Structure 1
């Protein structure tokens, strides 16, 4: 932190900064460096190892798209596994689906959960108190390799592929996820911002294809994730679940009675239409 600014330096030749009006918490945990502070525009902000994870103002974009696209795409998910996501935002959106009977969250860093509840409770909005929630503080890689549980949807709400999250982008991890999925199950993972991380999505999809018949991606725009639209990787053995017809999506959303700030059935379908620079990245898009 420099003076009253917190800089993010995820990319070697591009950085963004947040004006800090108050530092609420800072800790070097056993896993990573955690800081939560207040910003005049984005409200409360959480960073891990100097990288923006979420802000109070725009977190709904990522969390709605991480949860609702696969859950409405599946249409009958009862058991959901979330790897990471200790702030509870993805869990919050998953639990808005009445069809979900159990949501298991495996988070490696207890401090992210505890400090999120203390300083950013509006993000989880009571999700950890829901009786359908099962919180496990453990390594997600080990969980998918060893658990005897099976899930209809797995959501990997992780940091970028470095440090504690590096193993969450490997073919062996995706094989573990495949082992835990029910037939027709869906895996969705955080896959970076392709304009400034052009190799990340390709790596994710190549590793997914070692275990799944279909690997794709969809896009979303989070204002504080620098570099343009970000991607979420998608894998399943049932490609028909990727984009159900618009009328099917609309009926599912209406039946669920959900009102979202970003997600809509039309946006669900449109999100899978990828820009050409993502599908065929050019040589000028180096990090």
Structure 2
């Protein structure tokens, strides 16, 4: 008789859940804000959960982090200062810092425990990003930072958890307005907006705020297996024209950057803004 394997079941949504077999529990801990659990799964590698919700896996994190970082940075074409709100595992900072043209990255994370946990148990995600002299790590509330700071950024990336707990405020109209005030001329705001098929209100509410704030307000999509239920939406807001950057220009900029992403390509970049009807209707 064999032991019944343990299965993790995510219950973020009341009528839908993702299950992963727990092959081995590696670490469990509590921070002042969240409960962290790290386990291994044969398909997804190391799986990090916060308060019972999957945040990232070592097998497919590159898709999300590449699409959140490279789409706005390469579309902008001259991003020097980047603000990351959230992203305590360091994966997004890793991708942003692959751009030698980026001179400074300010990363604001509310939970120092997530950073410490990730540095110790998921060092491959940050891949040295926390030791890069261009990175300024600030342990603070993201809403408070954009309210109190006077700094200007070319790109702002909101790598938040879902709109529950510490991440809830990062989905409010007030937050989006204050984040926009931190954008330099032609700056771009990109946000994590969930899986539209499963979480339609999350995208609808964010896009309502974006339309009131930005001349160019939309989203683009990335297919990340961990975030099941359809493609994931990344909100896009700018008063500039970066979304119209031609594919051949994106290709030249990526070549000049000198690295080869695993998921992102200029062609995928352009296609990601072609929205299925049900997603486009959430933004009207």
- TM-score class, shorter: over 0.9
Rounded to whole Å, the distance in 1 between the matches of 2:236 and 2:71 is: 10
Shift of 1:6: 1.5
Matched, 1:265 2:245: no
Answer whether contact 2:5 2:21 (CA < 8 A) is retained.
no
Shift of 1:150: 1.0
Matched, 1:181 2:180: no
* Secondary structure, counterpart of 1:90 in structure 2: helix
Rounded to whole Å, the distance in 1 between the matches of 2:235 and 2:147 is: 20
Rounded to whole Å, the distance in 1 between the matches of 2:113 and 2:43 is: 25
Answer whether contact 1:154 1:188 (CA < 8 A) is retained.
yes
* Residue in structure 2 matched with residue 191 of structure 1 by the alignment: 193
Rounded to whole Å, the distance in 1 between the matches of 2:174 and 2:216 is: 17
* Residue in structure 2 matched with residue 92 of structure 1 by the alignment: 94
Matched, 1:122 2:116: no
Rounded to whole Å, the distance in 2 between the matches of 1:273 and 1:81 is: 26
* Residue in structure 2 matched with residue 105 of structure 1 by the alignment: 107
Rounded to whole Å, the distance in 2 between the matches of 1:38 and 1:3 is: 13
Matches within 5 A, 1:208-247: 208-238=210-240, 240-247=241-248
Rounded to whole Å, the distance in 2 between the matches of 1:16 and 1:165 is: 21
Q: CA RMSD in A?
A: 1.1
* Residue in structure 1 matched with residue 18 of structure 2 by the alignment: 16
Measured against aligned partners, the alpha-carbon deviations of 1:67-86 in whole angstroms (never above 9, x if no partner) come to: 00000010000000000000
Rounded to whole Å, the distance in 1 between the matches of 2:15 and 2:179 is: 34
Answer whether contact 1:97 1:256 (CA < 8 A) is retained.
yes
Matches within 5 A, 1:55-204: 55-204=57-206
Rounded to whole Å, the distance in 2 between the matches of 1:243 and 1:32 is: 40
* Secondary structure, counterpart of 1:261 in structure 2: coil
TM-score of the aligned structures, taking structure 2 as reference length: 0.96
Structure 1 ranges of 4+ moved more than 6 A: none
Answer whether contact 1:39 1:45 (CA < 8 A) is retained.
yes
Answer whether contact 1:243 1:268 (CA < 8 A) is retained.
no
Shift of 1:221: 0.3
Shift of 1:213: 2.0
> Which ranges in structure 1 are unaligned for 5 or more consecutive residues?
282-287
Rounded to whole Å, the distance in 2 between the matches of 1:121 and 1:227 is: 29
